[in-house]
Each structure stands twice: as C-alpha cells, then as structure tokens.
Amino acid sequence: MSITVFTKPKSILSIVVALVFIFDANLIMQLFGMSLDDAGIMMTRILGGAYLGLGISFWFINGPDDIDKKSAYLYGFSEGIASLACLAGTLNGAMNAAGWIFVVGYLAFSLCFFWVATKAQG
C-alpha cells in the first residue's frame, strides 16, 4: 500500500482547516463549544499558517523517497501531543463532546505517521 493513501487526504484536510483558521477562526472552534477572543483568533490564524505550510508539504509526498523516517516520526509525535492536548481539553470541559473528534482524529494521524515512518527511507 502506498503512503499517499494517507498523505494526500491529510494534505487536503490540513489545507482546508488552515484556510478556515486563517479566514474565520471562530467557525470551527464554535462547533466544539469554544469562543475565541482577539488573542485566540490571532493564535488560531498563526496555527492556520503553520497548517497551510504542512498541508502543502504533505501534498508533495508521493512515495517513501519524499519523506525521511525522522520527519515522519516527528510528525507522528506532534500529532500525538495534539491528541493529548485535545483529550485534556475535552475532559476538563474546555471543548464539548465533539472534542472527541479532535482526540480520535489526531490520534489516527499520529498512528498513520508512525506507519509512514516504517515505509520511509533512512
């Protein structure tokens, strides 16, 4: 199975979320029971910029030669940290029950990047 089965959908999702974060930061966050103040909107837009860069870079992964093991493990680790942060936010009430979507989604992305690392070169 090619790693693009994961990297292309991850790329598209990252780019779409990034654009929403950049242009209407509260749109997604309100679905999860959060309301952002001015500082939160600014931070979400910065996160959107980072997601946009990552989404574009994921698009150019066309096979194991396009990503190294270290990068795949690092992406997997960061997605795991995001899953834990969302878990904490959901359990402490910062996000509503829909926060579990983030928890499970980030965990799935983390596991997929660890799978990509097993296929990656060097």
pLDDT, tens digit, for every residue of 17-69?
999 999 998 998 999 999 999 999 999 999 999 999 999 999 999 999 999 99
Question: Which candidate, 72, 54, 40, 45, places its Cα nearest to that of 11?
Answer: 54
The pTM score is 0.88
- Number of folded domains that form the chain: 1
pLDDT of 121 reads 82
pLDDT in tens, 71-113: 999 999 999 999 999 999 999 999 999 999 999 999 999 999 9
Alpha helices in the chain (DSSP H): 4-23, 25-31, 38-59, 69-91, 99-119
Burial 86-115 (b: 16+ CB within 10 A, else e): bbebbeeeebeeebeebbeebbebbebbbe
- For residue 64, give its domain range: 4-119
* One-character DSSP codes across 3-28: THHHHHHHHHHHHHHHHHHHH-HHHH
pLDDT of 1 reads 76
